[in-house]
Amino acid sequence: MIKITFLPDKKNIKVNKGTTILEALEKVGMNINTPCGGKGICGKCKVLVKEGIAAVAPTEEELLLEEEIKKGFRLACQTKLFKDTVIEIPSEIRLDFKRVFSSNLKGDIDRIKNNFSLGTNLKKVFLDLKKPSLDDQRSDWERIKDELSSKKIENISNLKTSLEILKKIPVLIREANFKITVILYNNEIINVEKGDTTKSSYGIAFDVGTTTVAGYLVDLNSGEELSAVAKANPQIIYGDDVISRIGFAQKQKENLEILQRKIVNILNEIIKENTQKAGVDTNNIHKISIAGNTCMHHLLLGLNPSNIAPSPYIPVIKESLSLKVKDIPGLSLSPTAHIYILPNISAFVGADIVAGILAICMWENEKISLFIDLGTNGEIVLGSKRKMWTCSTAAGPAFEGARISSGMRAAEGAIDKVKIDNESITYRVIKDSKVRGICGSGLIDLIAELIKLGLIDKSGKLIGREECDPKLNKEIRKRIINEQKGNKFLLVKGKETENGKSIYITQRDIREVQLAKAAIFAGIKILLKEVNILPKNIQKILLAGAFGNFIDKKSAIRIGLIPYLPLEKIESVGNAAGRGAEITLLSEKTREICKKISKDIKYIELSSRADFQEEFVEAMFFKS
Choices 165-173, 188-196, 587-595, 611-619; region in contact with its own copies by CB under 8 A: 165-173
The backbone torsions φ and ψ at residue 40, rounded to the nearest 5 degrees and listed phi first, read: 75, 35
Exactly one of 62, 128, 136, 600 binds its own copies (CB under 8 A); which one?
A: 136
Among 8, 58, 67, 137, binds its own copies (CB under 8 A): 137
Least Å distance, CB 483 to its own copies, is 42
Residue type, 102: S
Minimum separation from the CB atom of position 171 to its own copies (A): 6
**3-state secondary structure (DSSP) of residue 66:** helix
Smallest separation, CB 285 to its own copies (Å): 20
- Which is it for the CA torsion 217, 222, 223, 228, positive or negative? negative
Please tell me the distance from the alpha carbon of residue 356 to that of residue 479, in angstroms, as a whole number.
42
Residue 169 in contact with its own copies, rule: CB under 8 A: yes
In the bound state with its own copies, the residue whose beta carbon lies nearer, of 274 and 598, is 598
Contact 233, 244 (CB under 8 A): no
* Residue 158 interacting with its own copies (CB under 8 A): no
Beta bridge partners of 542: 371, 571
Name the segment binding its own copies (CB under 8 A); options: 85-93, 162-170, 371-379, 552-560.
162-170
- Segment near its own copies (CB under 8 A); pick from 446-454, 471-479, 525-533, 605-613: 605-613
Q: Exposed, middle or buried, 187 (CB in 10 Å: 0-12/13-18/19+)?
A: middle
Nearer to its own copies, 342 or 505 (CB): 342
The nearest distance, CB 164 to its own copies, in angstroms, is 9
Minimum separation from the CB atom of position 383 to its own copies (A): 19
Least Å distance between CB 580 and its own copies? 21
Handedness of CA 80, 85, 91, 95 (dihedral sign): positive
Parallel, antiparallel or unpaired: strands 160-161 and 188-194: parallel
List 58, 106, 107, 133, residue binding its own copies (CB under 8 A): 133
How many Cα neighbours within 13 Å face the side chain of 272? 9
**Alpha-carbon distance 531 to 522, whole Å?**
14
Residue 179 engages its own copies in binding (rule: CB under 8 A): no
Measure the CA–CA gap between 546 and 212, rounded to whole angstroms: 8
100 binds its own copies (CB under 8 A): no
**Which residue in the set 12, 117, 139, 177 belongs to the binding site for its own copies (CB under 8 A)?**
139
Dist. CA 418–CA 491, nearest whole Å: 9
Map the footprint of its own copies across residues 321-340, applying CB under 8 A: 321, 323, 327
Q: Please list every residue from 29 through 48 that binds its own copies, using CB under 8 A.
A: none
In contact, 328 and 335? CB cutoff 8 Å: no
CB of 410 to its own copies, least distance (A): 33
Nearest distance in Å: CB 66, its own copies? 48
Q: What is the DSSP letter of 370?
A: E
The DSSP line for 130-141 is PPPBTTB---HH
Single out the segment in contact with its own copies by CB under 8 A; choices: 15-23, 120-128, 163-171, 518-526.
163-171
65 phi, psi to nearest 5 deg: -75, 150
Please say whether the dihedral angle defined by the alpha carbons of residues 579, 583, 584 and 590, taken in this order, is positive or negative.
negative
* Cα(457)–Cα(623) distance, integer angstroms: 8
Q: Which of 140, 207, 416, 615 binds its own copies (CB under 8 A)?
A: 140
For position 189 contacting its own copies by CB under 8 A, the verdict is no
Which residues on adjacent β-strands are paired with residue 133?
136
Closest approach, Cβ 63 to its own copies, in A, equals 37
Contacts of 375 (CB under 8 A, 6+ apart): 209, 210, 211, 212, 400, 545, 546, 547, 548
- Closest to its own copies by CB, 307 vs 365, is 307
* 550: helix, strand or coil: coil
Instruction: Check binding of 534 to its own copies (CB under 8 A).
Output: no
**C-beta of 95 vs 182, nearer to its own copies:** 182
Among residue numbers 300 through 319, which ones bind its own copies (CB under 8 A)?
Answer: 301-304, 306-307, 311-319
Q: Closest approach of Cβ 181 to its own copies, in Å?
A: 19
Query: Applying CB under 8 A, does 624 fall inside the site for its own copies?
Result: no
Residue span binding its own copies (CB under 8 A) among the ranges 53-61, 158-166, 388-396, 462-470? 158-166
Apex 314 CA angle, 310 and 318, nearest 5:
145
User: From the list 8, 67, 70, 135, which residue makes contact with its own copies (rule: CB under 8 A)?
Assistant: 135
Q: Which residues of 298-329 are buried (b: 16+ CB within 10 A; e: fewer)?
A: bbbbbbebeebbeeeeebeebebeebbbeebe
Nearer to its own copies, 116 or 141 (CB): 141
Shortest distance in whole angstroms from residue 315 CB to its own copies: 5
Q: Which is nearer to its own copies, 2 or 172 (CB)?
A: 172
Q: CA–CA distance from 326 to each of 166, 323, 337 (Å)?
A: 15, 8, 8
Minimum Å gap between C-beta 119 and its own copies is: 20
Q: Does 59 bind its own copies (CB under 8 A)?
A: no
Task: Give the C-alpha separation, 211 to 190, whole Å.
Answer: 33
Map residues 342-381 to x or -, x wherever contact with its own copies holds by CB under 8 A: ----xx----------------------------------
Q: Show contacts with its own copies in window 389-428 (CB under 8 A).
A: none
Binding site for its own copies (CB under 8 A): 132-142, 162-163, 166-167, 169-171, 174, 301-304, 306-307, 311-319, 321, 323, 327, 346-347, 603, 605, 607-608
